[in-house]
Structure 1
Amino acid sequence: MRIAFRILVVSLGLVAPLAAQQPVVTGVQVDAHAAHGLPAELSAAAKDGIAWVGYSIPVLGHFSDNDGETLYLEGSRDGGNWDSDRQQFDHVNVLLRMEKGAVTKLRMATPNRKLDTGGVKFVWLEGVSQDESIREFVSLANNASQERKVRDASVMIIAQHESPAATSTLISMATTGDSFVREKAAFWLGAHRGQDGTKALLQLTRTEQDEHLRGKLAFDLTLGKENPAAIDELIWMAKNDASPHVRKEAQFWMAQKAGKRAAGELRQIVQNDPDRSIRRSAVFAISRLPEGEAAAQLIQVAESNKDPDVRKQAIFWLGQSKDPKALDYLTKLLRSN
């Protein structure tokens, strides 16, 4: 799915106070009024045709978009240059395309972006609560007959809400939804809901029964800010999870996240795990460590591991390295033979 917006969760830079401001819409007259029940408003907006419906929500962190550029809601054209400096906002405009009572597209935009609907009716709703908004997107995400891109975007939009209810909602979705929803909800818990999101992931790694989703959780644990408990859990998963698939995923991501600590843990796995495929995958994970550390660890494995297959694997990855130590070691190895 094409992500049509960018999210910043850092607190640096200017945050513009354009909360709940009605956007400028070109080409059509805006029907702006107070909302009287979001589901009813959405159904009524395009009962006999097509309409865009928008409203504003406060976001967790800050939201950034193509400053001042026109967003073309119909067709594939979009304004903006992502290389330019952009303001950050504490509110965002949520935009839903309705056709005959059904949501067919979702967009988000900063309050200062002009909107072009291509002549399609535009309805702006005032006073939509966060709880009401979250409930609407939960309904869309859980609707298995809805297009996947709409379900995907719905989970992401839930995660942007400032309300703590967004976190508890995502936790519920990550534990009770279908596999598609559980995967998306877990991702956004890690990517955008801070320490509370990470805490929820730490519980999911021990309770999720689907090994494919458990493997995804290893990546999700790397998405938040540095958290020692997340690193501890990656290491535990890499060494102890019942699924070889999950152990391999955890090995890879701990190499990306845990640095020197990962090196020692991976070397233990290479040395001691009874499963040869796990030992081989740990060698690959070692090769993903920072360059200087990777070569040093691979050389140790190549020189000392008792499994000839694992030693060959280490030599192979040394051959892919650009570290001078790797070249020196391989040159000496060739000369000795």
Structure 2
Amino acid sequence: MMTSFLLVAAVVVGPMRPAAAAHEIASLRAAGAPVEMTVPRGGAALEVMVAIGDADPADSLMRLANDALSKGDYRRAVELFRSIRARFPKSARLGESMYMEAFALYRTGDTRDMSRALTSLDDLRAKYPTTSARDAASLRTRICGELARQGDSRCAEDVTATARAAAEVGAARAEGRRSGRGVRAGDCTEDEDDERIAALNALLQMDAERAMPILTRIIARRDKCSEVLRRKAVFLISQKQTSETADLLLKIAKGDPDAEVREQAVFWLSQVRDERAVDMLSEILKGETDAGLKDKALFALSQHRSERANGLLRAYAERDAEPEELREKAVFWLGQKRSVENSEFLRTLYGKTKNEELKDKIIFSLSQQRGTGSEKWLMDIVSNPKEPVELRKKALFWAGQGGASLAQLAGLYATLGDREMKEQLIFVYSQRRDPAAVDRLMDIAKTEKDKELRKKAIFWLGQSRDPRAAGFLAELIDK
């Protein structure tokens, strides 16, 4: 049997009123720290004994501070993170506490607190240069960006310089390739990219006209190290609708050598209200072989409200030569764009295709097209014995979830000769929040000749919150 040892740390809190002391102890205990309290002679200081197990003595306070942070109590979190350095000066988590204090100060949204956060990050870099270096640099840039928007000229200079560096480093690497030095494997780092992206985002919010040329230069980079940066730059470009946005995204979608960068550009073409974007998406669906790119193009078309975009989705869904999964995506997006034309097309496509997976997706998409005659069509599928039973069951389920009235569903039970379909209908009744559906289940439980179907109805009555169901089941038990 192993013995568990506890290390005990003495935390001198300083002069404290009894109520405050009790609160401190309760807080530490709430954080999961076993604590004891002693008061030295004279009451000069409160000494808290924290049992911490085989761990860093600051762990309990870190948990408490992080809990305050997660609850949005940022000032309390600042106090707790700061107190770690005073109470545990030899802790291995001092650098982490400084970073978290800066983050909590930033989250308050107060200008003075954000300035204090920058000071804390500067101290962190000086005292613990390797602790959270990547995150600290990125956080510093985010804070500086916010302060720059509020008129801090020094921060504005820093943000602009960092953003420009993102483009200039590409030129330096290109020169290295021309001179034969190349790019070493260790030269690529995401640490710098995070800081530069934060700076670019801040600059974009401050002054889009100054940011867009820098983003354009980044997008033009072709060095291997710039791929991640270019992917992030595409998102930033998409978030600021300027006269250049459509041109840049179209250029990236056509010409970037990285597939993921192109996919991101195609995805964000969904937000560009420019007919040229629809032209580009049409070209991708016709000429591209990359399934990921086509998937993004289908989504982008679904976000355009033009009838032409709808027509391109319909045309793609019809093409038997296209990948089944992508045709299903086109059908799904058509279902999300309610129109009589889309409903008619999907019903026609259902009759043409022999692919049951595609038919399944068509049934779902039509269930989303309320008010276009699709409710009756779904019920016709349910009643058609020539249709595969699994598709009939899907149609029944979605009809029950959608526009079919309970009167339609109630009258359906007697017309179904198939036990599997009746079982599905019992389940559909159970999903309706309607007293009449409970009536129907009780009726089946009393009068259905098939014992298994009666058992199904009784099971679902047992799940009902309708008080009548409980009384009905009690009567069955008493019989």
Category of TM-score, reference length = shorter chain: 0.5 to 0.7
Structure 1 position 165 matched with structure 2 position 324: no
For 1:45 and 1:322, locate their aligned partners in 2 and report how far apart those are by CA, in whole Å: 62
Q: Does structure 2 retain, via aligned residues, the 8 Å contact 1:159–1:193? A: no
Given candidates 100, 103, 111, the residue that maps to 2:257 is 100
SS of the equivalent of 1:274 reads: coil
Tell me, what secondary structure is at the counterpart of 2:282? helix
> 1:210/1:27 Cα in 2 relative to 1: closer, same or farther (>3 Å)?
same
Q: Give the structure 2 partner of residue 230 of structure 1.
A: 374
User: Given that residues 462 and 469 in structure 2 are in contact (C-alpha distance below 8 angstroms), is that contact kept between their aligned partners in structure 1?
Assistant: yes
| Structure 1 contact 248–278 (Cα < 8 Å) conserved | yes
**Are 1:73 and 2:232 matched, yes or no?**
yes
Q: What is the CA-CA distance between 1:306 and the residue it aligns to?
A: 2.6
| Distance of 1:300 and 1:202 partners within structure 2 | 35
Partner of 2:341: 196
Q: Matches of 1:220 and 1:244 in 2, distance apart?
A: 19
Q: By how many angstroms is 1:251 displaced?
A: 0.7
CA distance in structure 2 between the aligned counterparts of 1:23 and 1:206, rounded to whole angstroms: 52
1:219 is aligned to 2:364: yes
More helix by share: 2
Matching residue of 2:418? 275
How far the C-alpha of 1:268 sits from its partner, in A, is: 4.5
| Structure 2: unaligned runs, 5 residues or longer | 1-206, 240-244
Name which of 220, 239, 243 aligns with 2:383: 239
Counterparts in 2 of 1:182-193, with a 5 A limit? 182-193=327-338
Contact 2:269 2:277 in 1 (8 A): no
Q: Cα deviations across residues 76-102 of structure 1 (Å, max 9, x unaligned)?
A: 99xx9xxxxxxxxxxx96956664164
Please give the secondary structure, in 1, of the residue aligned with 2:367.
Answer: coil
Report if the CA contact (8 A) 1:270-1:280 is conserved. no
Q: In the alignment, which residue of structure 1 is the partner of 2:282?
A: 135
| Alignment check: 8 A CA contact 1:186 1:217 kept | yes
Gaps of at least 5 residues in structure 1 are 1-21, 33-43, 55-71, 81-91, 112-124
Question: Is 1:29 aligned with 2:214?
Answer: yes
**Higher mean C-alpha displacement, 282-291 vs 308-317:** 282-291
Which residue, out of 195, 206, 225, partners 2:351? 206
Residue 334 (structure 1) aligns with: 477
Does the 8 Å contact 2:462/2:470 carry over to 1? Answer: yes
Cα deviation per residue 1:156-181 (whole Å; 9 max; x = unaligned)? 11122233221221111112132112
Q: Percent identity?
A: 24
* CA distance in 1: counterparts of 2:209 and 2:434, whole angstroms: 50
Q: Distance in 1 between matches of 2:274 and 2:418?
A: 58
Looking at structure 1, the residues matched to 432 and 357 of structure 2 have their Cα atoms a distance apart, in angstroms, of: 24
How far did 1:26 drift? 4.4
Instruction: Determine the C-alpha separation between the residues in 2 that align with 1:29 and 1:126.
Output: 24
What CA distance in whole angstroms lies between the structure 2 residues aligned with 1:251 and 1:242?
Answer: 12
> How far, CA to CA, are the matches of 1:110 and 1:137 in structure 2?
14
- Give the greater-gyration-radius structure (CA): 2
Q: Using a 3 Å threshold, how does the CA distance of structure 1 residues 190 and 298 change in structure 2: closer, same or farther?
A: same
Instruction: Give the secondary structure class of the aligned counterpart of 2:268.
Output: strand
Tell me the TM-score normalised to structure 1 length. Answer: 0.63
Quick check: 2:270–2:299 contact (8 Å CA) kept in 1? no
**CA 1:275 to 1:191, structure 2 compared with 1: closer, same or farther past 3 Å?**
same
Deviations 1:270-299 (A, max 9, x none): 333332222211211121222423312211
What residue number does 1:302 align with? 445
Question: Is contact 1:158–1:166 with CA below 8 Å preserved after alignment?
Answer: yes
Q: Deviations over 1:291-312 (max 9, x none)?
A: 4233122112222223221111
* Paired position in structure 1 for 2:7: none
Alignment partner, residue 87 of structure 1: none
Which deviates further from its counterpart, 246-255 or 186-195?
186-195
Q: Determine the structure 2 residue equivalent to 1:175.
A: 318
**Structure 2 SS opposite 1:328:** helix
* Cα 1:171/1:46, change in 2 over 3 Å: farther
CA distance in 1, matches of 2:235, 2:277: 29
Q: What is the one-letter code of the residue matched to 2:307?
A: P
Q: Which moved more, 1:127-136 or 1:192-201?
A: 127-136
Distance 2:416 2:403 in 1: 20
TM-score normalised by structure 2 residue count: 0.46
**Any conservation in 1 of the 2:234–2:264 contact (CA below 8 Å)?**
no
Q: Is the 8 A contact 2:393 2:424 kept in 1?
A: yes
How many angstroms apart in 2 are the aligned matches of 1:165 and 1:109?
A: 15
Q: C-alpha offsets along residues 27-51 of structure 1, whole Å, 9 cap, x if unaligned? A: 861449xxxxxxxxxxx96766667
Contact 1:190 1:221 in 2 (8 A): yes
Which residue is equivalent to 1:117?
A: none
Q: Which residue matches 2:72?
A: none
Q: Do the aligned residues in 1 keep the contact of 2:429 with 2:437 (CA within 8 Å)?
A: yes
Partner of 2:432: 289
Q: In the aligned structure 2, how far is the partner of 1:334 from the partner of 1:221?
A: 43
Contact 1:270 1:282 in 2 (8 A): yes
CA gap of 1:127–1:227, structure 2 versus 1, over 3 A, is: closer
Conserved in 1, the CA contact under 8 Å of 2:438 and 2:469? yes
Q: What is the number of equivalent residue pairs in this alignment?
A: 253
> Once the two structures are superposed, what CA deviation does each residue of 1:229-271 show, in whole Å capped at 9, x if it has no partner?
1101111111215111110101111111125x2x344445433
Give the Cα separation in 1 of the matches to 2:361 and 2:408.
Answer: 20
- Output the CA distance in 2 between the equivalents of 1:76 and 1:292: 50
Distance of 1:235 and 1:128 partners within structure 2: 39
Whether contact under 8 Å (1:130, 1:161) holds in the other structure is: no
